[in-house]
Structure 1
Amino acid sequence: MARQSIGRRGRIRRRRLIVGRPLRNGWRPSVARAAAIGLAPALLVGAGIGAFVHSAPDTPDVVQAVSADTPFTFTGYGHGHGRGMGQWGAYGYAQDGWTAERIIAHYYGGTELGSVEDQMIAVRLVGRDDKTLDVYSDSGLNVGGEFVPAGQAVHLTPTEDGGANVVVTEGCSGATVAQRHADLPWVDPVDLGEDRPFEEHLTFCSDDKTYRGALGIVLDNGAYRTVNRLHVEDYLRSVVPAEALPSWADSGGAEALRAQAIAARSYALAEKRHELWQTCDTTDCQVYAGSGAEDPRTDDGVRTTRGTVLMKNGEVVRSEFSASTGGYTAGGIFPPVEDAGDRVAPNHQWAKTLTAGEIGSKFGVGELQAFEIIGRNQLGPDGGRVTRVRVVGSDRTIETTGAEARTTLGLRSDWFTVKEGVDETVPEITPAPEPGPEVVADPFGSGSGTSPIEQAYLELGGVESVLGKPIGPELMLPDERGKFRIFTGGAIVWTPELGAQVIDASFLKDWFSTGSAE
């Protein structure tokens, strides 16, 4: 809630930061066809995450806009959504002598450490979408129960019956040795066991990237998807060095890497992305780059925490983390806490300057007239993270979340203040090395391309939610104002104005047939 103060006439009013000139004639709310795509309120199934749009005033008064080249400085703290563990904070605490277990307990209040047996995990390799599966192994491999020796490569194309057409060649591009159909579209190494030697790993022909475990190619509503199935502990050997800095172990931060292993293991095992895979290999999930990314220092963090996970009410917890909290976590699933360890973060404090023209253009409001911070979470200095902003322009007014404002403006976090002019008293955003991209459970926390539709779907429970399985990819709305995805039990529509909304899928049929929901 925003802080309040008493006005001169005794009225309680919100204290807010307003950048730009206020509208003399105010603004008037309007339904605006349910704010951008005509979503009938009766069709809304779930609560939306997003903005409210207000039409421009009808009165003929002229409202002066802020000069397009007027600079505004956004000053903030931290890098990421700030929920759960701060990776730089964990490093700072490790240097102070904290153990991984103490670090985890500090950031993930209300949970307890538990233990799970090693199990397999299926990971979608997003960069391989819509490609055939073309691999080899220095030790040979197996397809459909038949051994393919070293020196030969296999090329799999998925078929509608759940199998694959297989072509075996000399090397990756040599003469064809054999062609056949496999009932299962999987390529197995000579041994599917954990911690196998490098020469047994499967290697892609296109870039020589190596992967532990098996590789398969499946059809997802007609589209090719490559999936890596491997032991969780093997998977983490690639994830931890991608999400944290292995060099921390050389400067008193080994316990931070152990804490990262626990958080990453918990997050992966709590994932339920799709019936064909649990998680993916991009910043939308956790970064995973195959066995070539492994590092002995992070291997040690995985090995010494083997099977350790965060649990609550008997279930593994989907443990969020981000690069830097700025000194205070954001709350949410886990209670907010002070993060003294974050003092070592290169982006503990940052600043970014944008012009009024850039701000107005990014929000699509026309010429900027005012940028108002109208809500904060009251956690930490300066009122804490921004929860709500209002952007007033010559064409329209938008109210949106601080997280969306962060993404739209390209800020390091949603914990910021703003003032007119260039502020040279705080450092610019540093190019210093950061841990891997944050893991998020909100639509706009990462600033890294995370799909708000997929995040809303996961928050509802993924394939186990009332929406059920997805039956198509994310597609653009006809007017290109947003995107949608259809599931067996409904649909999710997203626009910059409304955020993510769960609707009755039949509404989309009306939209496509008429181009309007009216």
Structure 2
Amino acid sequence: MRRIASALALAGLLTTASTGAASAFTIRGAGFGHGVGMSQYGAAGFAEHGWTHEQILTHYFTGTEIGHADTDTVVRVLLQSPQTATFTGATNAGTKKLDPGRTYGARAASGGRVDLLDADGRVLATFDAPLRATNGADDPVKLLGTAGNGVRDGAYRGWLEFRPGAMGEVLAVNAVGLEQYVAGVIANEAIPSWPMEALESQAVASRGYALTTRKTESRGWDLYPDTRSQVYRGVTGENPNTNRAVNSTAGEVVTYQGDPITTFYFSTSGGRTENIENAWPGSPPQPYLVGVDDPYDDGSPYHRWGPIRLSKAQAAGKLGGLVKGSFVGVKVTKRGVSPRVVKAVVIGTGGRTTVTGATLKARFGLRDTWMTFNAPSADVGPQPSQDPATAPLPGPDPPSSGGSKAGVSR
């Protein structure tokens, strides 16, 4: 990857309110994501320049070290919440022996219990929740679903758990060992052909993110299978290269003063990451989540983006009720260290409205809050340059029907 060329130029005067507002409103920007923590394309660039995954991670997370977590930790991922969940590949469900070649179902029953169904919907047995479906040969169990209805079907390591939901649905949860979970994540969050040290960085970041963001088990699950947590697809999401990265970093997490930290990551920094308090106003500053130089992320297609050209009427339409009177432009009043937009004002002929960078990103449908505008002229922040194989480690055994195996968190 190319090194980012020279320092970023200051934004020039493109139009002013005093000389008459231009009919066009132009946005240019850099980066893709929230800007906090590890840039994934940047990590790939560092790896191509010979950095180890330890060096990459401790660069992005200031003042940290690499520590270890318990690889026997179990995490629980909510996969579906249908009226009836169907599955195959299980040899047992509760105390019932099953044929792994047949399809079965689970649905909520009265009294916090779960019905086990045959393929025709007949009740075979009713169990206290959670009903656990396992495979005695440690093969994956497959959760089924209809394409397009939003459920997460596929083959999963560990075991499946079913329990009643709050609205009469059944919650289908994959209970899986931490290492197997990470194996089902990183091929969906990174590019498997990237250098191994970049994939190892992703494995460590995903492992720590899961451990520090998982919820309590009072609701029966810890994590989502999508971007609300991390994109997890079970066996379907595994890749030989990313599995190798999981195995070679088994148990590794990023720590600060001995404690695991939330290892935020995102696609593309544009050349510098951002302080957490600037990216998410209201978040307390963290000494390990501060902006750092990211010189090798220009292999990303989103290192620079734009220009996006809108008429003043189109821009006003996207901003909606934020515009007072007729739309004049946007003035940035505070930038972070990267320099992503923290605060700005939307200027209209009838007054000004203060907004966050995140609001502008959402309203205009942008990739990042690192952005500049051509009007009015008071944005003096820096402007982007316009040049553009191995299987996972064995997982823990399913718990007995009498209790749940506790996962280890920080």
TM-score bracket, normalised by the shorter chain, equals: 0.7 to 0.9
1:141 aligned onto 2:91: yes
Where does residue 347 of structure 1 map in the other structure? 302
Q: Distance in 2 between matches of 1:130 and 1:396?
A: 49
CA displacement at 1:395 relative to structure 2: 7.2
1:288 aligned onto 2:232: yes
Where does residue 218 of structure 1 map in the other structure? 163
Match of 1:419 among 361, 374, 384: 374
Match of 1:237 among 149, 171, 183: 183
**Residues 340 and 427 from structure 1, CA distance in 2 versus in 1: closer, same or farther, beyond 3 angstroms?**
closer
1:106-505 matched pairs, under 5 angstroms:
106-118=59-71, 119-125=73-79, 128-137=80-89, 140-169=90-119, 175=120, 178-191=123-136, 196-197=138-139, 200-206=140-146, 209-222=154-167, 224=169, 225-248=171-194, 253-273=195-215, 275-276=218-219, 277-332=221-276, 333=286, 334-351=289-306, 352-365=308-321, 366=323, 367-377=326-336, 379-380=337-338, 384-393=339-348, 397-419=352-374, 426=386
Q: Distance in 1 between matches of 2:81 and 2:117?
A: 19
CA displacement at 1:372 relative to structure 2: 1.4
CA displacement at 1:202 relative to structure 2: 2.4
- Higher RCO, 1 vs 2 (CA within 8 Å, ≥6 residues apart): 2
CA displacement at 1:306 relative to structure 2: 0.3
Where does residue 79 of structure 1 map in the other structure? 32
CA displacement at 1:203 relative to structure 2: 3.3
Instruction: Specify the SS of the correspondent of 2:226.
Output: coil
The sequence identity of aligned pairs, in percent, is: 29
Where does residue 405 of structure 2 map in the other structure? none
Q: Distance in 2 between matches of 1:17 and 1:268?
A: 45
CA contact (8 A) 1:202 1:214 kept: no
CA displacement at 1:406 relative to structure 2: 1.1
**Structure 2: segments with no counterpart, 5+ residues:** 1-10, 148-152, 277-285, 377-382, 389-410
Instruction: Specify the SS of the correspondent of 2:107.
Output: strand
Instruction: Specify the SS of the correspondent of 1:341.
Output: coil
CA contact (8 A) 1:20 1:370 kept: no
Instruction: Specify the SS of the correspondent of 1:246.
Output: coil
Instruction: Specify the SS of the correspondent of 1:133.
Output: strand
Instruction: Specify the SS of the correspondent of 1:261.
Output: helix
Q: Distance in 2 between matches of 1:186 and 1:353?
A: 55
CA displacement at 1:129 relative to structure 2: 3.0
CA displacement at 1:16 relative to structure 2: 11
**Residues 148 and 344 from structure 1, CA distance in 2 versus in 1: closer, same or farther, beyond 3 angstroms?**
same
Deviations, residues 464-518 of structure 1 (Å, cap 9, x unaligned)? xxxxxxxxxxxxxxxxxxxxxxxxxxxxxxxxxxxxxxxxxxxxxxxxxxxxxxx
Aligned residues: 346
Instruction: Specify the SS of the correspondent of 2:193.
Output: helix
Q: Distance in 2 between matches of 1:375 and 1:404?
A: 14
**Residues 358 and 186 from structure 1, CA distance in 2 versus in 1: closer, same or farther, beyond 3 angstroms?**
farther
Deviations, residues 302-336 of structure 1 (Å, cap 9, x unaligned)? 11000001122433211101101111110223122
CA displacement at 1:97 relative to structure 2: 0.7
**Residues 285 and 262 from structure 1, CA distance in 2 versus in 1: closer, same or farther, beyond 3 angstroms?**
same
CA displacement at 1:17 relative to structure 2: 8.1
Where does residue 448 of structure 1 map in the other structure? none
Where does residue 279 of structure 2 map in the other structure? none
TM-score with structure 1 setting the length = 0.62
**Residues 220 and 358 from structure 1, CA distance in 2 versus in 1: closer, same or farther, beyond 3 angstroms?**
farther
**Residues 338 and 176 from structure 1, CA distance in 2 versus in 1: closer, same or farther, beyond 3 angstroms?**
closer
TM-score with structure 2 setting the length = 0.77
1:99 aligned onto 2:52: yes
